[in-house]
Structure formats: C-alpha cells, structure tokens
Chains A and B, each alone.
Chain A
C-alpha cells in the first residue's frame, strides 16, 4: 500500500490556512455593505463554493467523455471525485444563498433560473449516485456513469435558458444585472480582495479534496483487488 504523498499533506495544511484567511477577510476585513448589512458577508463564500461546484460539474462531464474515449478507469475515479466534491459544494452554495435570500428577498427560496438550475443539478447528481449504486460490474458502472454525466452536463445549461424565460431576481454582481434583479451592489476594493481571495481559497480546497478523493478511489480499488486475490 502506498503511503500518503507528502505534497498532498502539505496541500491539506495550505487548504486549512487559506480557509481561515478567507473567513477572516470576508467576516472582518471586508467593509459592511451599506444596505444589506452583515448578511452580505455570506456572499464571498456563496460565490466561492458556487464557482468550484460549477468547475466540478464541468470537469465531471469532461472526464465522462474522456472515459468513453479512452476506457481508462483513472478517468472514472476522477469523474466520481468531481461529482462528489461538487455535490457538496453546490449544497453549501444553496444553503448559504438561502441564508442571504431570507433578509434580502424576504424568502428562503424562489424559482429563479440560478436557484432552480442548482437544485436540478443536485438532483442529477443524486440520480447519478443511485445509478452507480444499482450496477455491480465496475466497468459497466463507469460507462453508464460517464454517459449520464454527459447528458446532465448538456441538459443543465438548457434548463437555465428555459427558466430564464420566466423571470429572474437573482443579482448579477459581476457584469450587467437585469433591471428586475434585487439585492445587487457595487464592490469596493476591500470587498474585491475578500471576494477574489475566497475564489482562490475554494479553488485550492477543491483541488485538495479532489486529490484526496481520487486517492481514496485508488485505495478502494486495491482493496477490491486484494479481496479477489484472497478469494482465489
């Protein structure tokens, strides 16, 4: 059995440090927003987790295609890691968004394109795990999983487009917001520091978790292999 790589241990420690710094920057360093007050501080982690959630979703679909082309099990482990980590981050995004939405929009939830797409994406992920659970053959499990992430990756953007036909109140802080958006604001330079650092911190944490999960996948596989050897 291979021991834990030293680089991964270092990355674990860096992840914890940057998480702490990001928390400090967003909770104490960034100025309080004039209209919404303290609750706006949720925004830094909300966008940070949403960004890596989206990143994981795209990586999973790409890994699915790579698996179907190469049939290399390493891509399957990468795909599972991406989906698992991204499911968790999207969940955190939704919870943080709800905490912010309650005072800002006066509701925990609304059927806005972003919110709905995030919820549907979570459901696609859950379906993905249920699909994998129902298949015993690892090679077939990898194939079906890859096909399903591909379908999910294609349908999620179309879901977003369709729901936009209805209406949106989600603010767009970067770029232009629609006239009906509520709760938007302009970032000061200190806010930008906290914001970009949070993006950076969650990217580091994402890479760290992905690495750990891929390693776990490899260990699982070697355990399976050892069990088979013992049985023979």
Chain B
C-alpha cells in the first residue's frame, strides 16, 4: 500500500461528491426518473383501477415496480455518462483501489434512487390517500434500494461495455434482482395491510441477507468487470 494514495473511504467519498455535484447542477437524471415514475403511477392507476379496495393490496407492488423501472433509468444513465466521454478511463487511471469506484458509484446511484423515492412517497400518499409516512416502511424501502443498486451498479458497469448497452441492463438486472423486489413487496405489503410482525420478519431477513451477499460479491468481482 502506497502512503500517497488516499484511503478507500476518502476515494469513495470523492467519487460520490463528483457524481452528486454533476447531478445537482443539471438535475438531468433525477428529473427524468421522477417524471417517469409519475407516468408509471398514472398508467397503473388506469391499468389496475386503483379503487379503495384494491389500493390496500396492490400499493406495495405498484410502488416497487415504479422504483425498479425508475432505478434502471438512473443506473443506465449514470454509467453511460462515464463511458461516453471516456470518464471511466480517467477513473480507472486514478491511483485508488478499484472498489472505491464501485462503492462511489453505488452510493451515488442509491442517493438518486432515494431522492426519487422521497418525492414519490408523499405524492402517492396524497393522490391515493394512503399513509406511507411510516418509519418502518422507510426502512424496508432503504433495504430494498440498497440491494437493487448494489447489483444494478455492477451490472450497469458490464452492460455499458457491450454493444446493446441500455437495452441489456434490465434484461440482466431483473432476473437477478427478483428476490430483492419480491421480498421488498412482501415486506411493504405486510406493513401496509397491518400484518403481524412475525409475518414481515422473514422477507425482512431475506432482504438483509441479499444485501449483504450481493454487496460482498459485487465488491469481490468488480475488478473483473472494469479490467481492460
């Protein structure tokens, strides 16, 4: 370990700061994700006839489908920006541990997703008169988003380097992310319909297990997907 190279934490934070600064200057990605999410919710409203009765049972599903779609949009964008202008090469040349790039990108992707979710939740509550301001629900959404972006960041790094690029990411990501999405839907649905805590505990455990496993694996294999 050279003493001159910055620590993993410092390097990670530097990449996060770079991404957030670029995004908060233009709001390109967040605004696209947000408008897209609202459109998805509007389509669901008419596709599913979200009347009072069905609302209770499908809210969790509608929310997570929306988050997953919007998340793919953000993940694609955040990696293709790096690839397009050769920024990725610059990042790779930096004298820092490669995993700092992974963690940096993952944390900024997570931040964008959380910002969008933080706006969608109150809007959805208002539109459908469901109370989504609950600390336990926020916890589930956080756990689900962490797992989704952990795998998504790794896979978007891969898909950005292929010929089919944007089309490929959802195809690669969704089958692998099915456990996290289903567990998140199950846990949030349980919370919203007022199920016993013991019923929510299992999907919650699966969410945590998924997060831990996939962060660890992505951390281990990230070197292989950025190697030139």
The residues of A with any CB-CB pair to B shorter than 8 Å are 68, 120, 123-124, 126-127, 130-131, 133-136, 140, 143-144, 146-148, 150-152, 154-155, 158-159, 161-163, 165-166
Contacts and interface: CB of A to CB of B under 8 A. Distances in A.
Given A135-B162, A140-B161, A161 B178 contact: no
A127 B172 CA distance: 5
B203 A165 contact: yes
Contact of A161 (B158, B206, B217, B227): B206
B176 A163 contact: no
Q: Which 4 A-B pairs have the closest CB atoms?
A: A134-B162, A158-B179, A123-B175, A134-B163
Interface in B199-217: 202-203, 206, 209-210, 213-214, 217
A143 B222 CA distance: 11
A148 B164 CA distance: 16
A136 B163 CA distance: 8
A124 B176 CA distance: 7
A195 to B, nearest CB: 31
A127 B175 contact: yes
B159 to A, nearest CB: 8
Contacts of B217: 150-151, 154
Contact of B158 (A147, A162, A166): A147
A155 B179 contact: yes
16 contacts: A68-B221, A120-B175, A126-B171, A127-B175, A134-B162, A134-B168, A144-B162, A146-B224, A147-B221, A147-B225, A150-B221, A155-B177, A158-B210, A162-B179, A163-B182, A165-B203
Contacts of A150: 217, 221
B111 to A, nearest CB: 23
Nearest to B158: A144
A124 B158 contact: no
B171 A165 contact: no
B61 to A, nearest CB: 13
Given A131-B158, A134-B164, A165-B203, A148 B172 contact: yes
A126 B171 CA distance: 9
A146 B158 CA distance: 12
Interface of B: 151, 154-155, 158-159, 161-165, 168, 171-172, 174-179, 182-183, 186, 202-203, 206, 209-210, 213-214, 217, 221, 224-225, 227
A152 B210 contact: no
A192 B179 CA distance: 35
Q: Which of A126, A147, A152, A163 has the most CB of B within 10 A?
A: A147
A155 B161 contact: no
A131 B161 CA distance: 10
A68 B175 CA distance: 22
Contact of B186 (A124, A135, A143, A162): A162
A154 B183 contact: no
B178 A155 contact: yes
B224 A147 contact: yes
Nearest to B162: A134
A143 B164 contact: no
B120 to A, nearest CB: 24
A163 B159 CA distance: 28
Contacts of B213: 154, 158
Q: Which of A146, A151, A165 has the most CB of B within 10 A?
A: A151
A126 B172 CA distance: 9
A162 B183 contact: yes
A150 B171 CA distance: 16
Given A68-B221, A158-B206, A130 B171 contact: yes
B207 to A, nearest CB: 9
Given A150-B217, A151-B217, A162-B203, A127 B224 contact: no
B172 A165 contact: no
